[in-house]
Amino acid sequence: MISAGIIDFPFTRVNSISKGHNYCGINCQGFLPISINNHNQSNNQTEAEMRKIKSLRLLYILVISGVIAILSTSCRETGRSCNTENEKLLIEKAINNSIGWAKTKDLNLLYSVVANDTGFLEVHPEGRVVRGIDEFRKSEAFWMSPDFKAVRYQIKDLAINISESCTVAWWFCILDDINEWQGEPASWENTRWTGVMEKRDGRWQIVQQHFSFASE
């Protein structure tokens, strides 16, 4: 409100402005500097907060960019095609070892290519189903007996396929597994042999296999 020679402010009373006089009264001298200082402090705080926000945004962008780069690299490595021909050679070697171990009765060689878990499955030509590695191991007494002799084996028409992930493979072949028991033939000839392998800890291992005789 304006009155004669006096300007009323809500917060103080100051003399009206006149040329050659200090336009602020006593109270104004204390008020204006505080107001200006508060304003400057507010601006400084705002600028500091803005710089902090910009820094956080930059950090956020850098972190997100790093995560995206890592995920992209991981996806490329996961989706990367394997050396199929090289893997087929390793699979073929594992298939041969799963039969050839019997020649020297090297059980360590056998179990290096057979899945050592309850999920292992083997089907015999006569229909017997071996479930799990523990049941599979029960045949050790037969294999390791001096009455059993592995004479020779031959794998024919071997066909190997590998999944795109390069972690699963399956095969088909015809097997001649020539053996003797107490000097008498105990062989599987012209046996159809199919199986599935998984690559575990860098090694191909048989998880399922099926033997059958062709019907006459």
Residue-wise pLDDT for 47-58, tens only, equals: 777 777 777 777
Name the H helices within 80-139.
84-104, 107-111, 133-137
If asked whether residues 69 and 155 sit together in one domain, one would say: no
Q: Is the model's pLDDT at 210 over the cut of 90?
A: yes
Radius of gyration of the chain (CA): 43
- CA dihedral sign of residues 199, 203, 204, 206: negative
The two tokens of residue 53 are 């926000």
pTM, two decimals, is: 0.63
Rounded to an integer, the average pLDDT of 148-157 is 96
If asked whether residues 17 and 73 sit together in one domain, one would say: yes
Q: Are 92 and 158 in contact (CB under 8 A)?
A: yes
Which of 20, 47, 79 represents a domain boundary (last residue)?
79
DSSP 5: T
What was the pLDDT predicted at 31? 41
Q: Is the model's pLDDT at 110 over the cut of 50?
A: yes
- Top pLDDT among 208 and 6 is at 208
pLDDT of 118-151, one tens digit each? 999 999 999 999 999 999 999 999 999 999 999 9
Q: How far apart are CA 145 and CA 176, in angstroms?
A: 21
* Residue spans of beta strands (DSSP E) within 4-62: 6-8, 13-15
Rounded to an integer, the average pLDDT of 3-12 is 41
What was the pLDDT predicted at 214? 79
pLDDT band at 73 (very low <50, low <70, confident <90, very high): low
If asked whether residues 75 and 113 sit together in one domain, one would say: no
Q: Is the model's pLDDT at 69 over the cut of 90?
A: no
What is the extent of the structural domain holding 11?
2-79
Q: How far apart are CA 172 and CA 202, in angstroms?
A: 22
If asked whether residues 108 and 11 sit together in one domain, one would say: no
DSSP β-bridge partners for residue 173: 193
If asked whether residues 146 and 209 sit together in one domain, one would say: yes
If asked whether residues 184 and 131 sit together in one domain, one would say: yes
Poorest-pLDDT segment among 9-18, 60-69, 71-80: 9-18
Rounded to an integer, the average pLDDT of 39-53 is 69
Tell me how many degrees the CA angle 177-172-78 measures, rounded to the nearest 5: 130
Number of structural domains in the chain: 2
Which of 32, 47, 79 represents a domain boundary (last residue)?
79
What was the pLDDT predicted at 66? 73
